Amino acid sequence: MNRLINLSRVLPTPEPALTVAYTPIRLAMPDRQSLELRLTAPATGDTLPIVILSHGFGPSNYIPSKDGYAPLAQFWAERGIVVIQPTHASSRVGGLAPDQPEGPFFWRERVVELRAIVDQLAEIERQAPAIAGRLDHDRIAVAGHSFGGHTCSLLLGGRLQGEVFSDPRIRGGILLAAPGRGGADLTPEHATRFPFFDVDFSGIELPILVICGALDDPHFTPRGPEWHADSFYDAPGAEALLTISNVGHGLGGIAGLDARETEVEDPEALEATRRLTLAWLRSIFCIEQDTWKQSQAALRDSAAPVAKITVRES
């Protein structure tokens, strides 16, 4: 029972159950160091769906790694979803040396890393014996915060300068405060520094949930918080836009509590983000499809100050 939560409590969600965690799981990568992962999973159950959670490029040393985002990863895992978190090549604490080619952002290598996780699920199970044989390799989604959202948007079908990065094994994804349109939508300085932000979201036909903070202040663009919603308007597969009230880029605390990434720690907003993302995931994984509709109704009727959901017209 969290006494800091009031309105978000009306949003339906399962009771938490015990989890198991393995870290570090190491996957061999060609011509470089191993890719390290954290896996958090329900302690019981079979044919468990998988979410690969891609971290951002925030100011902390450890949160942009497999060891961050516990408020989100733990919540999902306690309620039936296996969460796999890589330490991306861009990580300060465990990634590649930033002065290497394509550093410090390694945007292309980050996509390769997510694909490697899907390629090597059998090896992950071998290193995590408590979950061996319990993963559903046909139900995989991706979720990414900030720069992680950019990584996921490419894997979901976003095109960059005509190049396609999509993976048919991915069923859908969540983009949390992800970058919007690049090019002319950026300041001239950032357009030069971040040419890889110029993603064409029109190639994303898989179902996605787009999440924005109502008070986000994207410094890449002269536009406001709505910049982070561009994929909702441009991607044919976008199903809904979730706007969290009274918070910015950290969405109330998904990256970590008491963290530099969390410019506004808001337990109410964090809980809404966790519950609503879980409801959407349970819907696309066909676990409990009514929960997403029930959550929308509960938010609208009893917790409207916390967030707003805009649904794509069919």
Per residue in 161-216, pLDDT tens?
999 999 999 999 999 999 999 999 999 999 999 999 999 999 999 999 999 999 99
pLDDT mean over 9-14? 97
- Note the pLDDT of residue 50: 98
pTM of the model: 0.97
Helix (H, G, I), strand (E, B) or coil at 99: coil
Model confidence at 261, pLDDT cuts 50, 70, 90, reads confident
Six-digit token string for 142:
């991706």
- Note the pLDDT of residue 308: 98
pLDDT mean over 266-272? 97
Domain assignment present for 222: yes
Domain assignment present for 172: yes
pLDDT mean over 236-241? 98
Six-digit token string for 59:
């100011």
- Note the pLDDT of residue 2: 87
Model confidence at 1, pLDDT cuts 50, 70, 90, reads confident
- Note the pLDDT of residue 132: 97
- Note the pLDDT of residue 263: 83
Task: Identify the CA nearest to 212 among candidates 174, 183, 186.
Answer: 174
Model confidence at 248, pLDDT cuts 50, 70, 90, reads very high
Domain assignment present for 31: yes
- Note the pLDDT of residue 249: 96
Model confidence at 53, pLDDT cuts 50, 70, 90, reads very high
Q: What is the mean pLDDT of the chain?
A: 96
Say how far apart CA 52 and CA 81 lie, in whole Å: 10
Domain that holds residue 41: 7-311
- Note the pLDDT of residue 71: 97
Task: Identify the CA nearest to 53 among candidates 114, 1, 99.
Answer: 114
Six-digit token string for 219:
């410094």
Six-digit token string for 269:
């907003």
Domain assignment present for 295: yes
- Note the pLDDT of residue 42: 98
Model confidence at 80, pLDDT cuts 50, 70, 90, reads very high
- Note the pLDDT of residue 36: 98
144 touches 209 (CB < 8 A): no
Query: What is the tally of structural domains in the chain?
Result: 1
Phi, psi angles (nearest 5°) of residue 268: -65, -45
What is the DSSP pairing of strand 135-145 with strand 159-160?
A: unpaired
Domain assignment present for 124: yes
Residue 289 has pLDDT above 90, yes or no: no
Residue 118 has pLDDT above 90, yes or no: yes
Domain assignment present for 1: no
Domain assignment present for 2: no
What letters, b where the CB count within 10 A reaches 16 and e where it falls short, cover 57-85? bbebeebbbbbbbbbbbbbbbbbbbbbbb
CATH number at residue 155: 3.40.50.1820
- Note the pLDDT of residue 311: 97
- Note the pLDDT of residue 77: 98
- Note the pLDDT of residue 258: 75
Model confidence at 314, pLDDT cuts 50, 70, 90, reads low
Domain assignment present for 25: yes
